[in-house]
Amino acid sequence: MAFKLTVTIFFLIFANWACVSSTLKNQDEIITDPATIINPKNDTIDYYSEGLEYGRLGDYEKSINYLTLSIDNQNNMSNSYFYRGLSYYSLRFFEEALVDYTNAIQYDPNYKEAYFNRAAVHVELGNLLDSINDYSSAIQIDTNYINAYSYRALSYYKIQEFENAVADLSKVIELNQNDAGAYLYRGLNYYNLDKYPEALSDYSKSISLNPNDADAYYNRSLIYGILGQPELDSLDSKKACSLNPALCIR
Read off the CATH number of the domain in which 104 is found. Answer: 1.25.40.10
Question: Is position 118 within any domain?
Answer: yes
Indicate whether 122 belongs to any domain.
yes
> What is the number of domains present in the chain?
1
Residue 221, in any domain of the structure: no
> Model confidence over 13-23: pLDDT tens digits?
333 333 333 33
Residue 37, in any domain of the structure: no
* C-alpha gyration radius of the chain: 22
Cα 109 to Cα 85: distance, rounded to the nearest angstrom: 16
What average pLDDT score do residues 207-236 get? 97
Average pLDDT, the chain: 86
The model's confidence at residue 8, banded by pLDDT at 50, 70 and 90, is: very low
pLDDT digits (tens, 9 = 90+) for 124-174: 999 999 999 999 999 999 999 999 999 999 999 999 999 999 999 999 999
Q: pLDDT (tens digit, 9 = 90+) per residue, 99-129?
A: 999 999 999 999 999 999 999 999 999 999 9
* Boundaries of domain holding 89: 54-143
Residue 112 near residue 138 (C-beta atoms within 8 A): yes
Residue 45 lies in a domain: no
Compute how many other C-beta atoms are within 10 angstroms of the C-beta atom of residue 197.
10
Q: Which of 99, 158, 111 is nearest to 131 (CA)?
A: 158
Q: How confident is the model over 10-36, as a mean pLDDT?
A: 33
- 215: in domain: no
The answer on pLDDT for 41 being more than 60 is no
* pLDDT at site 39: 40
Alpha carbon distance 118, 115 (integer Å): 5
Q: Is residue 110 part of a domain?
A: yes
In a domain, 211, yes or no: no
* 40 has a pLDDT exceeding 80: no
Q: Measuring CA to CA, which residue among 137, 109, 110 is closest to residue 122?
A: 137
Confidence category of residue 202, pLDDT binned at 50, 70, 90: very high
By three-state DSSP, how is residue 124 classified? helix
Give dist(CA 67, CA 34) in Å, integer. 12
Answer whether 183's CB lies under 8 Å from 202's CB.
Answer: yes
